[in-house]
Amino acid sequence: MNLFAEAVAWLTAPERWQGAYALPVLLGQHLLYTAVSVLIAALIAVPLGWLIGHTGRGREIAVAVSGAARAIPSFGLMVLLVLLLGVLRIPQAAVATFVLLAIPSLLAGAYTGLEAIDRRVLDAARAMGMTEWQVFWKVEVPLGLPLLVGGLRSALLQVIATVTIAAYVNLGGLGWPIIQGIPLRQFDQVLGGAILVAALALLVDLLLALAQHAAVPAGVRTGPRTRRRRAAAPAAASAPA
């Protein structure tokens, strides 16, 4: 309990909020690396996932690639890329590592969102005269959006946690207090940095959970009233006149 109080005191100290390593600066660096990495990963994974989900081709390859990417140790990959690209391209090496980490979740969310759609819905859309592009954009994308947002949610949480290691190669971020504090045995600083990373992850998870709920099309939402009406319908139908 004393360590937690010391961590809170470290977080609220005036010197934590000014200078090159102020907490707002570190938070901005953390968010920047996260946003850039997830955006690049989305530009790669989402169109590919939609193509796989729409055509039904290449799913086995996508699953294999996603599984292999998840198995790669992020820290080892970042150090390897730094050595290969050189010390002048450390930010590019770090971003490439985070992009590779985010791709599997986004790819899975994109193609599973389309695969989960009832084929009868798509057949009905085609029977109404919709073109393949209209079926994809007006039917498949809206219905598959909740699972895509779920993939985005998972990717963001993984990247937020992993960007912490960027401080190991002197790129800042909220991992800097942790990386610096461990060899100095400043455990209040280490715990303070960990609290910030956990709080950021929880906040992003809450926002994306709300976004995922909002992404469900209004016509397919099942609320408590809808469930009660559906449960009451058979009883009303079987009741004697």
In angstroms, the first-to-last Cα distance of the chain is 68
- Which has more confidence, 237 or 116? 116
Concatenating the DSSP letter of every residue in 31-96 gives: HHHHHHHHHHHHHHHHHHHHHHHHH--SHHHHHHHHHHHHHS-HHHHHHHHHHHH-GGGHHHHHHH
Q: Which residues contact 77 (CB under 8 A, 6 or more apart)?
A: 97, 100
Give residue 238's pLDDT band: very low, low, confident or very high (50, 70, 90).
Answer: very low
Compute the mean pLDDT over every residue in the chain, rounded to the nearest whole number.
87
Share of the chain above pLDDT 70, in %: 91
Among 63, 76, 144, residue whose Cα is nearest residue 105: 63
CA distance 121 to 112: 16
Looking at CATH, the fold of the domain delimited by 2-238 is given as MetI-like fold (1.10.3720)
Q: Quick check: 26 pLDDT over 90? A: yes
Confidence at residue 63, expressed as pLDDT on a 0 to 100 scale: 79
- Which has more confidence, 195 or 56? 195
Angstrom distances, CA of residue 47 to CA of 35, 84, 112, 148, 159: 18, 29, 13, 11, 20
Mean pLDDT for the stretch of residues 13-28: 90
Task: Please state the domain extents for the chain.
Answer: 2-238
- Which has more confidence, 232 or 122? 122
Q: What does the pLDDT look like over 77-97, one tens digit per residue?
A: 888 888 888 877 888 999 999
Q: What does the pLDDT look like over 121-137, one tens digit per residue?
A: 888 998 998 988 899 89
**Which residue in the block uniquely carries the two structure tokens 């209209």?**
134
Q: Quick check: 237 pLDDT over 70? A: no
What is the CB neighbour count within 10 angstroms for residue 138?
13
CA distance 228 to 234: 11
Query: What DSSP character marks residue 158?
Result: H
Side-chain half-sphere exposure of 7, counting CA atoms within 13 A: 17
Among 102, 121, 114, 137, residue whose Cα is nearest residue 59: 114
Mean pLDDT for the stretch of residues 212-228: 72
Give residue 241's pLDDT band: very low, low, confident or very high (50, 70, 90).
Answer: very low
Is the entire prediction scored with pTM above 0.75? Answer: yes
Show the CA angle centred on residue 15, arms to residues 11 and 20, nearest 5°. 105
Show the CA angle centred on residue 146, arms to residues 127 and 227, nearest 5°. 80
Residue 238 structure tokens: 């079987």
Q: Which helix (H) or strand (E) holds 236?
A: helix 224-238
Confidence at residue 228, expressed as pLDDT on a 0 to 100 scale: 57
Q: What does the pLDDT look like over 96-123, one tens digit per residue?
A: 999 999 999 999 999 999 998 988 988 8
Confidence at residue 231, expressed as pLDDT on a 0 to 100 scale: 52
Q: What does the pLDDT look like over 140-178, one tens digit per residue?
A: 999 999 999 999 999 999 999 999 998 888 888 999 999
Q: Which residues contact 7 (CB under 8 A, 6 or more apart)?
A: 188, 189, 191, 192, 195
CA distance 99 to 36: 9
Confidence at residue 33, expressed as pLDDT on a 0 to 100 scale: 95
Confidence at residue 96, expressed as pLDDT on a 0 to 100 scale: 92
Confidence at residue 225, expressed as pLDDT on a 0 to 100 scale: 55
What sign has the CA pseudo-torsion 153, 101, 196, 191?
A: positive
Query: What DSSP character marks residue 207?
Result: H
Mean pLDDT for the stretch of residues 231-241: 49
Confidence at residue 1, expressed as pLDDT on a 0 to 100 scale: 57
